[in-house]
Amino acid sequence: MSVMTKSNLVDFDALAAEKDEKRRSELARHVAFLFSRTSERCSDEQIAIYDDVMVRLSSMIEQQARAYLSECLAELRRAPEQTIRLLAEDHIEVAAPILKSSTVLRDLDLQNIANKATNDHRLAIAQRSILPESVTSILVSKGDTPVKRTVAANAGAQLSHDSVDDLIGDAESDELLQQALGNREDLVESQIQQLIEVASEEVKIQLLQKGRMEEAGRLSQAANVAASKLSNEFWLGRYDFETAEGKVYAIAREGRLGEQQLRQFAEEDRFPEAVAAFSVLARLGAEEARHWMVRPDTEPFIIASKSIGLSLMTVRALLAIGPWRYRLSKVKREHALELFQQLSLKEATRMFSIWGERKLD
């Protein structure tokens, strides 16, 4: 018997037989509105019930009503995962708010949608405040001109060297794309020179007036966003740790939580679950583990990981997800891995006993 059948909140058999589609749509709107006002107070079980209800209602209601669901859920930190993913793959009128804003979507979800959906879906994804290289690479390679312009103009979009080169190539015949690239702060000197060579006279003058060649060594705007605007509190507010902790604690009670499960969470891009699993395995408080795994300073995490016997493979996977995907440069990530390898178990255990008593901001 499903959670929904036991909940008795909705008689789906009767609802399916209802000839008036407006009644079903109105019910869906009421459910979405109620959830949007109570999501932060809902238990894990209640969220699961809402999720099942909205997934089933979504297949029974008109597009306009599904769009309302999307608007209600897009900005919520604790939103039902199945419903969010279903809406994200819907018609663009439904999917747009979710694709632009929902923090429930994982990078893997965005990659899949960017690969197979329409350019309208890609354009919505390109407007997200934070985008990793794994997503922007797809947007640049598959997207049309508006998508590419939007990605180039998005300061929170991380671009690989190849993506920048591709955009510069496209910019030769597109002055708006030239301007978008010219306003980025993360181009290296060789790329700036390439852009100057293909730019129109107006854009070329703007680039030279800005003294961009002298600024080439500065941190990228995306890195600045991650380093300043994206404080620890910003990242802590993006994830639904509470629901993840409930799932992980259940796995732990069943005796199934270990390093393999932790690494699986990392490989599946499930950052909140990875944090919860790490806190259990390291015997850290949940709040402390959250802070340790969003900080640009990875030393406490590295010490704890070594002291509990995690492998290099697991630590590498954890350093590449969540906020660390954005907040750690390649150099910092490699430095953290070097520290992990250099630390002895004895020394890490001694240091962890000290770190474990501190409350890190």
Task: Please write the tens of the pLDDT for every residue from 270-279.
Answer: 999 999 999 9
The mean per-residue pLDDT over the stretch 205-228 comes to: 49
- Mean pLDDT within 150-174: 93
The residue that leads in pLDDT, 205 or 169, is: 169
Round to whole Å and give the CA distance between 150 and 135. 13
pLDDT band at 330 (very low <50, low <70, confident <90, very high): confident
Cβ within 8 Å of residue 327, ≥6 positions away: 226, 227, 230, 235, 294, 296
Residue 227 is predicted with a pLDDT of 44
- Mean pLDDT over residues 124-142, rounded? 96
pLDDT band at 97 (very low <50, low <70, confident <90, very high): very high
Is pLDDT of 6 > 60?
no
Please, what is the average pLDDT of the chain? 87
Asked whether residue 128 carries a pLDDT value surpassing 90, the answer given is yes
Residue predicted with more confidence, 255 or 229:
255
Q: Phi and psi (nearest 5°) for 131? A: -140, 125
Residues 145-160 have a mean pLDDT of 95
**Residue 15 predicted with pLDDT over 80:** no
Q: Give the pair of three-digit tokens for residue 143.
A: 């997207």
- Residue 13 pLDDT greater than 70, yes or no: no
Per-residue model confidence (pLDDT) at position 210 = 59
- Per mean pLDDT, which range of 223-227, 263-267, 352-356 is the poorest? 223-227
Determine which of 7-16, 232-241, 330-339 has the lowest per-residue pLDDT on average. 7-16
pLDDT tens digits, 48-71: 999 999 999 998 899 999 999 999
Average pLDDT over residues 223-235: 59
